Amino acid sequence: MNRTLIVLAASLALLDPGSLGAQLPPQAPRALVQAAPHLTAQRFLLGLAEAGISGGVYLSADQEEPFGEAPRLHDDDGSVQIDVSVAAFADGHSDWHVANDGGVVNLFAGGLSGPSRVIGDVACDEVSFDNALLAVVQAIYPTRVPAGIVGSMSGAPRPLTQRMTLALHNVTMIEALNALVAQVPGSTWLLVRHDEGAEPYDQLRIRTPNGVVHHVGFPLAPAISAIGR
């Protein structure tokens, strides 16, 4: 059964405060509420990732920034319901669309819409994160053999030991990515739209909590990824 994306209003005043509490992880740093209106989408999701909340962002190449450290927040400010932090981001970024897919926070830059095409089924059983990501990519682009999925890192990260199992039926690309990062809390997927060439394309990478950024080794045509303008 498909997950349902719940699109939030771009203003705190329009958000039902109780609409997300039962679906999103219950707690986020209180300090993130104050910081959220001033953070970029990537920095905001890194702040959520530090609290063990997975997410994803779709943005244009000129909005992308390196995956750096999470924003510095006061540790002694306590925690709040996650919907409060998410609403604070939406309140400060009226041109962004915010969505919740079963507890994974999604941010879509203005001008870029959510998924529209079902990619089909994704299945893997007790495999590594990279192999699970490969299964998702092969479902997105079944006629092309990926050039590879590699991890880049800084420092010496702890190994990612989780074994991944996916049994997804009739899902969109975003639903598949959300199901993947949901299994490793604090993971973030990043889909970047490039318009500089003759044909626009999307580039996909995922940051896991051990600091590794997993790159898909080839571009995804928007017609394939089915996330158009």
pLDDT tens string 169-179: 999 888 999 99
- Residue 33 in 3-state DSSP? helix
pTM reported for the whole predicted model: 0.79
Per-residue 3-state assignment (H helix, E strand, C coil) for 177-194:
HHHHHHCCCCCEEEEEEE
Buried b (16+ CB within 10 A) or exposed e, 1-27: eebebeebbbebeebeeeebeeebbee
The residue ranking higher by pLDDT, 202 or 92, is 92
The residue ranking higher by pLDDT, 97 or 152, is 97
pLDDT tens string 32-41: 888 889 989 9
pLDDT tens string 64-77: 887 766 676 666 66
Q: What type of residue is 18?
A: G
The residue ranking higher by pLDDT, 87 or 30, is 87
Q: In the predicted model, what is the mean pLDDT of residues 57-64?
A: 89
The residue ranking higher by pLDDT, 23 or 113, is 113
pLDDT tens string 130-155: 889 888 888 887 776 666 676 666 55
Q: Around Cβ 214, how many Cβ atoms within 10 Å?
A: 21
